[in-house]
A = this chain, B = another copy of it.
């Protein structure tokens, strides 16, 4: 088997392209990188485990793309611009075909988003990919989860639920009633949403001009909106006797053609709202900023939909409302004004 050094040098070293002459990429004990003035560093990390975060038969190219994309998505949610990333790759065997496909995936997403690989570690073990990415945000301008305000509109980008439905396509678990109705092109569209997510970086640079809070939807819309409420509630003094919750209108949830067919035939909203793997942004904005957001939406070609609003609720139970658990109980789902039971629509929990 080739040594760690050979793997890294020959396959990954070309992915360091784009550094300045006084910067150091792969090939030393560490990478050395320049820092833009008047910016803060943003650091994000995400691990993908084979069989947990992607089906074991996922193409190496797609695994690489997704490992980088999910981190770009985290940067997008902070309003940060990408800098560079390092890769910790644990592989069960030195499979050159797999490694070539993986390196090609890294190369393509790296070129597309202009983000060089600056280092990493390759180890032997069950397939696990950890990407740690650094980005930059103007000092003090990062968008927090904790900034949601009563009366804010809850918005999402593009479509919700495609990743979860893509997983059903990949695992062949789509209900029979739906399978026949979805075209081959739609199936591929869902698979691409799962395997080749497109982080919302175009929007993220202007997001700080109108959003009060933001998160990327990786664990499912309800869980991730829950994180926004949870973090925002930490800034509200308990003596106020209030907590933030949200009302979401199901009929406003933006659905792709395939997702609409799925809902019309199954009525099973949890797959859409809690399936995760969307890598869209969920953010809250003051209502008077909606025009600005829609202007950006048109300019960037990113669909933005207001799906509900942040509301103020009575703090009924001191111990539950101050817990760190996602406050799913504080999200009300409405269908044409009528309250719907959240049921099993909880967010994806890694454990």
B residues less than 8 Å from A23 (CB atoms): 40
CB of A269 to closest CB in B, whole Å: 21
Assess whether A351 is interfacial by the CB under 8 Å rule: yes
Chain B's closest residue to A76 (CB) is B29
- Are A40 and B33 touching (Cβ within 8 A)? yes
Q: Does A46 have its Cβ within 8 Å of any Cβ on chain B?
A: yes
Q: Give Cα A31 to B142, complex, Å.
A: 10
> Contact at B3–A351, with CB atoms within 8 Å?
yes
Residues in chain B near residue A134, CB distance under 8 A: 41, 43, 134
Cβ-neighbour of A324 out of B6, B24, B139 (below 8 A)? B6
A32 in the interface (beta carbon within 8 A) = yes
Interface centre among A7, A140, A142, A216 (most CB of B within 10 A): A142
Binds B, one of A47-55, A252-260, A307-315: A47-55
Q: How does the 8 Å CB contact mask read for A82-102 relative to B, with 1 for contact and 0 for none?
A: 001011101000100000000
Check if A142 sits within 8 Å of B32, measured CB to CB: yes
**What's the nearest-Cβ distance from chain B to residue A307, in Å?**
20
- Residues from chain B with a CB closer than 8 A to the CB of A120 are 45
The residue in chain B whose Cβ has the minimal distance to the Cβ of A46 is B121
Q: How far is the CA of A87 from the CA of B47 in the complex (A)?
A: 10
Closest to A132 in B: B132
Are B351 and A45 neighbours in the complex by a CB distance under 8 Å?
Answer: no
Residues on B with beta carbons closer than 8 Å to the beta carbon of A75: 29-30
Q: Size band of the A side of the interface?
A: 35 or more
A191 to chain B minimum Cβ distance, whole angstroms, is: 23
The CA-CA distance from A215 to B216 in the complex, in Å, is 39
A122 contacts which chain B residues (CB < 8 A)? 350-351
In the complex formed, the residue of B with least CB distance to A347 is B3
Among the stretches A123-131, A154-162, A175-183, the one at the interface with B is A123-131
> Which residues of chain B are within 8 angstroms of A3 by Cβ–Cβ distance?
325-326, 349-351
Q: Contact between B30 and A123 (Cβ–Cβ < 8 Å)?
A: no
- Nearest CB to that of A4 among chain B residues? B350
Q: A300 in the interface, Cβ–Cβ < 8 Å?
A: no
In the complex formed, the residue of B with least CB distance to A41 is: B33
A165 adjacent to chain B (CB < 8 Å): no
How far does the alpha carbon of A40 sit from the alpha carbon of B214 in the complex, in Å? 29
Q: Please, how many angstroms separate the alpha-carbon atoms of A30 and B51 in the complex? A: 25
* Residue from A80, A130, A145, A325 with most neighbouring chain B CB atoms (10 Å): A130
In order of increasing CB-CB distance, the 9 nearest A-B pairs are: A132-B132, A1-B351, A30-B44, A88-B130, A29-B77, A4-B350, A49-B125, A29-B74, A47-B88
